[in-house]
């Protein structure tokens, strides 16, 4: 094993249907989701996730997450702050404990890396 993984937007074996968004956090009808976990050791996870438009309320986000948007758009509005939009080519970091609104405004695919 080389200990090197090339990331591709389609994942190593394609994307599979998944449910990441908690139903209780939804502010809209649920999205269609698909993704692929590339690497996970329990405390950290790397993968690809895609969702159709939806909105959710995030309370005490459980991870530190770095995300790189491959396609689509999201608008993230931290409590008490201005909304920020991220589109293809943009990268953001969401800190553990984040509270606010997360909205996919255009079907979004992203790479993510989370650390508990």
pLDDT in tens, 7-40: 899 988 899 999 999 999 999 999 999 999 999 9
- Mean pLDDT (the chain) is 95
Cβ-Cβ contacts under 8 Å for 47 (sequence gap 6 or more) = 11, 35, 36, 37, 38, 39, 40, 111, 112
- 38-49, pLDDT tens digit by residue? 999 989 999 999
pLDDT confidence of residue 1: 61
Tokens 């502010």 sit on residue: 27
Domains of the chain in start order, with CATH, are: 24-115 (2.60.120.10)
Q: Over the stretch 68-98, which tens digit does the pLDDT of each residue have?
A: 999 999 999 999 999 999 999 999 999 999 9
28-37 exposure pattern, b = at least 16 Cβ within 10 A, e = fewer = eeebebbbbe
Q: Above 90 in pLDDT, residue 5?
A: no
* Distance of alpha carbon 56 from alpha carbon 51, whole angstroms: 12
End-to-end Cα distance, the chain:
26
- Count CB neighbours of 70 within 10 A: 17
């Amino acid at each position: 094993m080389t200990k090197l993984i090339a990331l591709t937007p389609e994942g190593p074996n394609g994307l599979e249907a998944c449910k990441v968004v908690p139903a209780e956090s939804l502010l809209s009808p649920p999205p269609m989701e698909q993704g692929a976990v590339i690497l996970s050791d329990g405390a950290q996870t790397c993968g690809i996730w895609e969702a159709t438009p939806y909105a959710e309320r995030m309370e005490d986000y459980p991870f530190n997450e770095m995300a790189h948007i491959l396609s689509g758009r999201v608008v993230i509005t931290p409590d008490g702050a201005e909304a920020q939009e991220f589109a293809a080519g943009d990268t953001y970091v969401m800190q553990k404990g984040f509270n606010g609104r997360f909205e996919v405004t255009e079907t979004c695919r992203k790479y993510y890396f989370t650390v508990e």
